[in-house]
Chains A and B, each alone.
Chain A
Amino acid sequence: GENVEQHPSTLSVQEGDSAVIKCTYSDSASNYFPWYKQELGKRPQLIIDIRSNVGEKKDQRIAVTLNKTAKHFSLHITETQPEDSAVYFCAASTGQAGTALIFGKGTTLSVSS
């Protein structure tokens, strides 16, 4: 089955810096790659997602890139702000019957002002 590795597990940056979180997946049939943000004590919320027919997607300060050949995808946050501090989870899905999203172990991002 699918396995998703996520690095780093913790990331500390200064306000205004960029942050990059990387994930690799094992199943070449995976075709959907979302990123979720979970603030302390709150629910996970989708911040951006990408499908396998696209190499890059951007939404304001957040971007995701996908390299299908290498089977990895990355989250890029520019001009970080203290409110970006949270746990970020990547995930992957093949969309096949009998399967569901597989999450990475998460990255705790701390943005200090």
Chain B
Amino acid sequence: DTEVTQTPKHLVMGMTNKKSLKCEQHMGHRAMYWYKQKAKKPPELMFVYSYEKLSINESVPSRFSPECPNSSLLNLHLHALQPEDSALYLCASSQFTNTGELFFGEGSRLTVL
């Protein structure tokens, strides 16, 4: 299984809602990532988990809260988002941090009204 699975594929939420994005991989990878991607832009790193511990937080606003319940799962909790947070949120994994191929999920397209 070389897949990174993300749910939901699409999400529309209001600025007062609380929602979560989920990501799962069963490749035994020990590093998992959240990226944000706007149209026609490169993926922008948000968080990195290494061995289930947060290792990088790229100064992301606290309205985004990551969670890594175990080595296969990664969540991104969303609360009080702004319309400018609308984007494609990509989860990725790699065997180890900082080296080797990143396997991306299909992404969750988020629209904040």
Residues on A facing B (Cβ under 8 Å): 32, 34, 36, 42-46, 49, 87, 89, 93-101, 103-106, 108
Contacts and interface: CB of A to CB of B under 8 A. Distances in A.
Interface string B76-96: 000000000000001000000
Contact of B42 (A93, A96, A97, A103): A103
Contacts, number: 53
B17 interface: no
A43 B104 CA distance: 6
A89 B56 CA distance: 22
A100 B97 contact: yes
Interface of A is mostly: loop
A101 B33 CA distance: 11
Interface of B: 33, 40-43, 45, 48, 55-56, 90, 97-102, 104-107
B101 to A, nearest CB: 5
A106 B41 contact: yes
Contacts of A49: 101
Nearest to B44: A103
A110 B89 CA distance: 25
A94 B98 CA distance: 7
A43 B107 contact: yes
17 contacts: A32-B100, A43-B106, A43-B107, A44-B43, A44-B90, A44-B102, A44-B104, A89-B42, A93-B99, A97-B97, A100-B45, A100-B48, A100-B56, A100-B97, A100-B98, A105-B41, A105-B42
A104 B44 CA distance: 10
Nearest to B31: A100
B104 A45 contact: yes
